[in-house]
């Protein structure tokens, strides 16, 4: 067993982040104090197990049976939990806002969590287009169990090489529509052939990433912004066509009714360059507070 120590940028509340993550999934997390994720280290599936030992300053331990590639284990572990994300500049902006000030105080240390790879994030974006998150989750679960690798009662996401060679008919059996199955297969093929270089994206600006993704079949503005905010943790990107974001923004920042995309961006304008984080905190608060106790502006 290999044990690594990670010192995330403070503040960082892993248990709170896990509670928020699980609120978006139909499966209940049995132990919110332990995060277990199946990943690939140099192509080999393994499980990373996270536990937060201290909150001030934050210290997180990562346990794994992988005894090689420690540098890669550390990189992926930090990537998964957004360890390097500095929330303090966003908090300084939010604390001057009558609604977000209360929310960031209650959700202090909350960081978004992301998939182990940008390819997985692409597939997530495609599966979640125009259907409920619960339905998309079930479809992805079938994809992972059909084409991924089981390790210690978890499943590592399929490689893009595996999905590139998978017949479209087999992807459809997992619940994807014909069109979405074609999108997933095409994206897997393009990544596997180096025609879409995902490893390059973290080095590019938001607009450069958006323009590259927007040229891909199956990736529209919502999906591109979704990958930017969730996959790359770009704090100012908002997938503003998301009906959930428009509804929650209307509830907390508007008159209570769903806002148009343009009005959402106007309402979030004071949080620039952290509009995406502001939207994430609104969604997280709504998920954890079912009765929406805050009074809309």
DSSP state of 277: H
Task: Note the Cα 56 to chain centre separation in Å.
Answer: 25
Rounded CA separation 126/121 (Å): 9
Q: What's the rounded Cα separation, in Å, for the pair 9 and 23?
A: 24
pLDDT at 24: 83
Q: How far is CA 201 from the centre of its chain?
A: 16
The pLDDT value recorded for residue 28 is 66
pLDDT-derived band at 296 (thresholds 50, 70, 90) equals very low
**pLDDT(294) > 60:** no
Mean pLDDT (the chain) is 93
pLDDT of residue 45: 95
- Which residues are known catalytic residues? 242
User: Quick one: 118-231 is in which CATH superfamily?
Assistant: Hypothetical protein; domain 2 (1.10.340.30)
Residue 37 CA: distances (Å) to CA of 81, 148, 156, 213, 287: 11, 13, 8, 27, 22
Looking at residues 153-171, what average pLDDT do you find?
97
DSSP assignment letter at 24: T
Can you tell me the distance from the alpha carbon of 246 to that of 286, in angstroms, rounded to the nearest whole number? 13
pLDDT beyond 50 at 293: no
Ordered by start, the domain boundaries in the chain are: 2-84, 118-231
Mean pLDDT of 90-104: 96
For residue 212, the model assigns a pLDDT of 97
Q: Which fold has domain 2-84?
A: TATA-Binding Protein (3.30.310)
Angle CA 152–156–160, to nearest 5: 160
pLDDT category at 280 given cuts 50, 70, 90 is very high
Mean pLDDT of 283-292: 79
């Amino acid at each position: 067993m290999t044990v690594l120590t990670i010192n995330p940028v403070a503040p960082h509340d892993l248990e709170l982040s896990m509670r928020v993550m699980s609120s978006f999934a139909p499966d209940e997390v049995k132990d919110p104090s332990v995060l277990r994720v199946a990943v690939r280290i140099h192509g080999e599936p393994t499980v990373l197990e996270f536990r937060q030992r201290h909150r001030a300053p934050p210290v997180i331990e990562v346990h794994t049976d992988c005894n090689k590639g420690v540098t890669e284990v550390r990189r992926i572990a930090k990537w998964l939990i957004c360890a390097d994300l500095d929330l303090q500049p966003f908090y300084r902006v939010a604390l001057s806002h009558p609604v977000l000030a209360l929310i960031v105080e209650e959700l202090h240390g909350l960081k978004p969590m992301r998939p182990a790879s940008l390819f997985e994030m692409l597939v997530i974006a495609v599966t979640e287009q125009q259907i409920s998150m619960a339905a998309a989750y079930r479809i992805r679960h079938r994809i992972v169990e059909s084409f991924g690798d089981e390790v210690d009662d978890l499943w590592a996401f399929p490689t893009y090489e595996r999905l590139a060679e998978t017949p479209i008919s087999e992807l459809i059996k997992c619940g994807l529509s014909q069109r979405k199955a074609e999108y997933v297969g095409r994206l897997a093929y393009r990544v596997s052939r180096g025609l879409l270089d995902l490893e390059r994206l973290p080095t590019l600006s938001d607009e450069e990433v958006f323009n590259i993704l927007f040229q891909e079949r199956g990736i529209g503005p919502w999906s591109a912004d979704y990958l930017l905010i969730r996959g790359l943790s770009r704090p100012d990107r908002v997938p503003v066509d998301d009906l959930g974001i428009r509804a929650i923004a209307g509830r907390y920042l508007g008159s209570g009714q769903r806002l148009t995309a343009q009005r959402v961006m106007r309402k979030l304008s004071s949080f620039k360059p952290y509009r995406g984080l502001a939207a994430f905190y609104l969604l997280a608060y709504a998920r954890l507070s079912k009765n929406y106790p805050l009074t809309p502006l």
